[in-house]
Structures are given as C-alpha cells and as structure tokens.
C-alpha cells in the first residue's frame, strides 16, 4: 500500500469510472487530485475566447464539487504542467503520480518529461488506460502488427471484448484528502480568457451535461443508423465534446450500445458501436504511427502537388468564410464558425470539397477544424481529414470524389439545414436550393436571390474540378504501379 498518490486529471473530467482515480484509491492511503491549466497548450491558442477552455473550466467546477462531497478537493494550477506536476507532487510529499494515458505525441513527450522529473525526486509515475477500450498492442493482426484497415480491426476488437473490458473503475472506496493548495477553480479571467457563448450554442458542460445527453440519446439510439446522416434531423448523440474531455466514460457508452442490441444486429446500436470503435482505431493509429500528425499515413500521397499562390489563398479563404457558392458546403462552414460544431456527414463533405474540388492541402483544413471545433481531438480530426483526402489508412479511394450537389440533395433534400444557416436562400425553391446558379435570370428575380449578389457564384465547376483532381492524384497511381 502506497502512502499517498496525486491523481492528475487531464481529459477525464469526471469523478466516476475513472481508471487513475480508481487505482489511487485502491492502492494508496491518501489520494490528492489536481488539474493543470497547461500554459504550453493555452498560450498556443489563437484567441482568448475559446469555448473549449470555458467547457473545461465549468466541468472542473462540477468535478471539484463532487470531490469535496467525498472529503477531497481539486487542486487547480495555471502553469506549465511539465514543471508544475513535479513541484506539486514534491510539495504534497506523495509517493507517486497517477494519470490516464494520452496518445497524442505532444502529450506523450510531456508525460515522459514529467516522469523523468519525478524520478529525480524519488516519486513514481504511472499511467492507465481510460479513454479507450483497447490500446497499445491489445488489437493486432495475426502477424502481430497493428491493424491499419478498419474492418479487420473492428472484427478483432469485437472478438476480444469481454465484460471485464467494460467493468467500471470504482471510485467510491478509499480516502480522498484535501489540501491547503486546493483554493478552488480559478475564473476564466484569472487564466487569461474571456467568457464565450458556450451556453447559447446549447452546450452544457460537465458530468451533468453528459448525463443529460446520454439519457436523451438512449431514447433515440434505435434510429441512429437511419437518421445520423441528415444534419437537419436530431439523429446523432452530440456527445463528442463530452467524450473529448472525458465528462462521460467510453465504457458507459459501449455498454449503452450493447444494452440496445449492438451485438444482436440491431442496426442503430450496432452502427453507434462501430463509430465508437472508429474512435479507438484512430487513437491507435495516432499512437503507433505518429508521423500522421505532419504527413500522410501513406507516404506516396505526400507527392500530391496542391494548389499554391494567391489563387489558392483566395480559394481557402472563401472555404473558411463560407463563400464557396455551394449551399451545403457554406451552410456547414457557417455552422462550424458560429457554433463550433459540425455534423459528421458534413465534415466529410466539406473536407472532400476542400481537397478534391479546390485542390487545397488537407492539412490546412485540418488546422482550421482544430481551431474551430469544440470537440477537437487530434486523432479523430487527423483521421477524418486523411480519410477524405484518401491519404490515410483505410481511406476512401482517391477517385471517389463527393459531388457537393448530389450530397446536398441526398442528405438535406428539402434544404432545411441549408436555410437554417443560409437564411438569405430562404426563398429559393426546393428545386434549386442545392444549386441556385441553375436558376435563370427570371427565376432568380422571382425569388429575390441573385447569384453573384445575394449568394456567391460557385468557386469551381465540380465536373472540371474532378478532372483536375484525378490528374493531381495520378502521381499516386504511378507510385503504386512502380
């Protein structure tokens, strides 16, 4: 039995089913808890108003209350984690620091630095699997290598799954202790940030916000498969930001899928489970193949020559600012820029449009999403963008190019989503809502929407853009044949 342990919270802001907290309470006589607003991360953010920071801050308030109700407290500091965790551990006189694993390269480097610094002080450092069902070498091919194709990965994942993998990490027993260091959660202003419109865009932070969404989704999971691709319908779970910051446990969500018939072939639950497995898959790819952060998973795709120069800059700016002239693309980008959320189907559409219609390097789109998304997660964001650009593992073939008009007509047939985010198109008839430029002059005048005045002229013609993309990606075909 250890004398005392410091549990370091990061992207796991809950008091229940928490691996590191469970291990601390099981193995130590006294458990302290801490969270660091890491200056290394916060100082790199482009703006001092960031919904993610406010989400974390409000979730910490709820977590701190939960810990105090059990006799503990949450020590919150604003500093560089690499120096503050060793300093705090020494100040508290703990035997070890426990935390949950993070798979991002920068986080792994940070943890190695912290572990080394603690080691010089004679303090241990242990990390635990918490945000994934399986990690490291737990899901491998028969040859003992990481699975880089999703379906075999999923099949192995499902075969390996047991009740033990979903067992909750109990946090009810053991002794949480407080400390004079625990002086409450600082305000946003105290860490250099300003309040945002977090609640106005419908986000309720913390464990209570996650619980509300889980309870709501439980009633709708049966319809998930048939409704998830339609952005005008309440078909998805909206839990992504809570998964990102760990205000809900992945084990609880997988258990929810199983309880609703995922293994028995019930389509809604089975599809939801598959999406959760994709999440594990992308964690694994980032963990085992960290080169994807800067480069294509498939090296031959780094030979693709993207558009450059002033023209490319104008195209990229128009995409970012929702001025492409393609209503579904522009509505999706307005949703992202105004709320920090984008429906998953639309993420695929706009990513394909940027890389394969406009010929812009997928990394630029990935970086824009990283800046805008409330639920930004490096593994999923990188995986999604590389999937759309065909450069990733198990990605769509390079010759599969989404037609934005076809996608619009299929997944927003009545233009409800488009009109919600592009109210200037409200009077456009359904017949033309997906492609207003197809109206003749009289039809434009009749509905009061003039293309080029009230709505942008399309940046590119999709058929011609597709031809150019196939030529651009020919370098990949040649590399494969060599």
Query: What pLDDT is recorded for position 362?
Result: 98
Phi (first) and psi of residue 310, to 5 degrees: -60, -40
Confidence (pTM): 0.96
Q: What is the mean pLDDT of each run of 10 residues along the chain (482 residues)?
A: 97 98 97 98 96 98 97 97 98 98 98 98 98 97 95 97 97 92 95 97 98 98 98 98 98 98 96 98 98 96 96 98 98 98 98 98 98 98 97 88 98 98 98 98 98 98 96 82 57
Q: Taking the CA of residue 247 as centre, how many other CA atoms within 13 Å lie in the half-sphere pointing to its CB?
A: 31
Q: Do 310 and 242 belong together in one domain? A: no
Q: Do 332 and 442 belong together in one domain? A: yes
> Which domain CATH number covers 65?
3.40.50.620
In a domain, 248, yes or no: yes
> Which domain CATH number covers 212?
1.25.40.80
Structural domain including 60 reads 2-130
Kindly list the catalytic residues: 275, 278, 306, 344, 362, 385
The total domain count for the chain is 3
Q: Do 315 and 419 belong together in one domain? A: yes
In a domain, 183, yes or no: no
Q: Do 358 and 453 belong together in one domain? A: yes
In a domain, 416, yes or no: yes
> Which domain CATH number covers 472?
1.10.579.10
Q: Do 110 and 137 belong together in one domain? A: no
- How many Å apart are CA 73 and CA 63, to the nearest integer? 9
Q: Do 314 and 460 belong together in one domain? A: yes
In a domain, 197, yes or no: no
In a domain, 342, yes or no: yes
Q: Taking the CA of residue 478 as centre, how many other CA atoms within 13 Å lie in the half-sphere pointing to its CB?
A: 8
| Residue found under tokens 């419908």 | 202
In a domain, 177, yes or no: no
Query: What pLDDT is recorded for position 378?
Result: 98
Q: Do 125 and 153 belong together in one domain? A: no
Q: Which of 130, 158, 179 is the last residue of a domain?
A: 130
Query: What pLDDT is recorded for position 479?
Result: 61
Q: Do 283 and 336 belong together in one domain? A: no
Query: What pLDDT is recorded for position 320?
Result: 98
Q: Which of 265, 288, 311 is the last residue of a domain?
A: 288
Q: Do 345 and 277 belong together in one domain? A: no
> Helix crossing, 378-389 with 362-372: angle to 10°?
150
Cα end-to-end span (Å), the chain: 60
Q: Do 137 and 109 belong together in one domain? A: no
Q: Residue 214: exposed, middle, or buried by beta-carbon count in 10 A (0-12, 13-18, 19+)?
A: middle
In a domain, 74, yes or no: yes
- How many Å apart are CA 123 and CA 115, to the nearest integer? 8
Q: Do 281 and 332 belong together in one domain? A: no
In a domain, 176, yes or no: no
Q: Do 224 and 366 belong together in one domain? A: no
Task: Kindly state the tokens that stand for 159.
Answer: 């075969």
Q: Which of 242, 268, 288 is the last residue of a domain?
A: 288
């Amino acid at each position: 039995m250890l004398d005392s342990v410091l549990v370091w919270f990061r992207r796991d802001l809950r008091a229940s089913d928490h691996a590191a907290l469970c291990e601390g309470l099981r193995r130590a006589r006294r458990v302290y808890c801490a969270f660091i607003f890491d200056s290394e991360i916060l100082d790199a953010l482009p703006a001092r108003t960031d919904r993610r920071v406010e989400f974390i801050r409000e979730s910490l308030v709820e977590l701190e209350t939960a810990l105090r109700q059990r006799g503990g407290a949450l020590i919150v500091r604003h500093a560089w984690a690499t120096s503050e965790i060793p300093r705090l551990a020494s100040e508290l006189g703990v035997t070890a620091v426990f935390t949950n694993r993070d798979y991002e390269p920068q986080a792994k480097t940070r943890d190695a630095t912290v572990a080394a610094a603690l080691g010089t002080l004679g303090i241990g450092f242990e990390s635990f699997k918490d945000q994934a069902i399986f990690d490291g070498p737990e899901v491998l091919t028969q040859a003992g290598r990481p699975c880089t194709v999703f379906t075999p990965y999923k099949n192995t994942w499902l075969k390996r799954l047991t009740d033990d993998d979903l067992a909750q990490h109990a946090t009810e027993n053991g002794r949480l202790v407080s400390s004079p260091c625990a002086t409450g959660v600082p305000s946003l202003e105290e860490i250099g940030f300003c309040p945002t419109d977090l609640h106005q865009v419908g986000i309720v932070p913390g464990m209570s916000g996650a619980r509300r969404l889980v309870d709501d989704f439980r009633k709708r999971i049966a319809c998930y498969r048939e409704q998830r691709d339609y952005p005008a319908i309440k078909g998805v779970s909206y839990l992504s930001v809570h998964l990102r910051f760990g205000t809900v446990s992945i084990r609880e969500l997988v258990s929810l899928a199983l309880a609703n018939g995922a293994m028995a072939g019930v389509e809604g639950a089975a599809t939801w489970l598959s999406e959760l497995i994709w999440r594990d898959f992308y964690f694994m790819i980032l963990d085992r193949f960290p080169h994807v952060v800067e480069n294509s998973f498939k090296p031959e795709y780094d030979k693709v020559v993207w558009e450059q120069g002033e023209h490319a800059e104008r195209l990229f700016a128009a995409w970012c600012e929702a001025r492409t002239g393609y209503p579904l693309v522009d509505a999706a980008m307005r949703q992202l820029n105004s709320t920090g959320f984008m429906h998953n189907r639309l993420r695929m559409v706009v990513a394909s449009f940027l890389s394969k219609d406009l010929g812009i390097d997928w990394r630029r789109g990935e970086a824009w999403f990283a800046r805008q998304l409330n639920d930004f997660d490096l593994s999923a964001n990188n995986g999604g963008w590389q999937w759309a650009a065909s450069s990733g593992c198990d990605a769509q073939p390079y010759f599969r190019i989404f037609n934005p008009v076809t996608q619009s007509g299929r997944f927003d047939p009545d233009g409800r989503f488009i009109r919600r985010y592009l109210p200037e198109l409200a009077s456009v008839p359904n017949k033309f809502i997906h492609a207003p430029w197809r109206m003749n002059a009289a039809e434009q005048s009749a509905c009061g929407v003039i293309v080029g005045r009230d709505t942008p002229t399309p940046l590119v013609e999709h058929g011609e853009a597709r031809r150019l993309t196939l030529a651009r990606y020919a370098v990949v075909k040649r590399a494969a044949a060599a």
